[in-house]
Chain A
Amino acid sequence: GEDVEQSLFLSVREGDSSVINCTYTDSSSTYLYWYKQEPGAGLQLLTYIFSNMDMKQDQRLTVLLNKKDKHLSLRIADTQTGDSAIYFCAETSGYSTLTFGKGTMLLVSP
């Protein structure tokens, strides 16, 4: 089946930029997503990018897509302690059946 891979852990200092990376195998992926999960909570959609785009910016978040390499990244500028959470990359090739990565735990230290 299709696969989505992420690094498991990232630690940064408050104020630094964080970059979370994701690779996927489905060449027919049309939408790629970043979700955030805070402890004890459900998933919150942060942003998504359509496969014909290579970049999307939304306030402190920048998503970069390299479709040729099937590589997606999420950059969080000026990372805050409140950004500490698990971040999931996900993709779909059409309807909302999402394939998720295993999640990257981001730890932001003061």
Chain B
Amino acid sequence: EAQVTQNPRYLITVTGKKLTVTCSQNMNHEYMSWYRQDPGLGLRQIYYSMNVEVTDKGDVPEGYKVSRKEKRNFPLILESPSPNQTSLYFCASSLQGQGEETQYFGPGTRLLVL
């Protein structure tokens, strides 16, 4: 089954404790992306990757890092999480990042930073 998986689905952590949210897709997609969803703000893009070793900032990259060492994986790293990073995070992928392609979303990771 074609899918985007994220782990963990729920996470509670404390300020400053480094964490990684994993994202994996099994569709051999080149394009992958991370979004955060906040009430009243919709979804905002954090980082995206057009292919292995190619990453770029989205609209809200501050406080986040990503890496793309393999095509299927695109982890989101919070080196020193802060309470304002409490949010619902979505990973997404599409074949090559073209507009007419379907972008597949993962189920989301709900993060609470205390």
CB distance from B7 to the nearest CB of A (A): 14
Interface contacts beyond A31-B100, A95-B50, A96-B99: sample of 17 additional A-B pairs, CB < 8 Å, sorted by A: A1-B59, A41-B108, A42-B4, A42-B105, A43-B43, A88-B42, A88-B43, A92-B99, A95-B98, A95-B99, A96-B98, A97-B33, A97-B45, A98-B45, A100-B43, A102-B40, A102-B41
User: What residues of B have a CB within 8 angstroms of the CB of A94 in the complex?
Assistant: 99
CB-based contact A101/B107 at 8 Å: no
Encode B83-111 as 1/0 by CB contact (under 8 A) with A: 00000001010100111111101111000
- Is B65 interfacial (CB 8 A cutoff)? no
CB-based contact A44/B97 at 8 Å: no
CB distance from A95 to the nearest CB of B (A): 5
Partner of A30, one of B48, B59, B99: B99
Q: Known interface pairs A41-B107, A42-B108, A94-B99. Does A102 touch B42 (Cβ–Cβ under 8 Å)?
A: yes
Partner of A97, one of B41, B48, B105: B48
Encode A5-48 as 1/0 by CB contact (under 8 A) with B: 00000000000000000000000001100000000111111001
Name the residue in B44, B58, B103 with the highest tally of chain A Cβ atoms < 10 Å from its Cβ.
B103
Q: Known interface pairs A42-B90, A42-B108. Does A96 touch B101 (Cβ–Cβ under 8 Å)?
A: yes
In the bound complex, what is the Cα–Cα distance between A90 and B43 (angstroms)?
9
B108: nearest residue on chain A (CB-CB)? Answer: A42
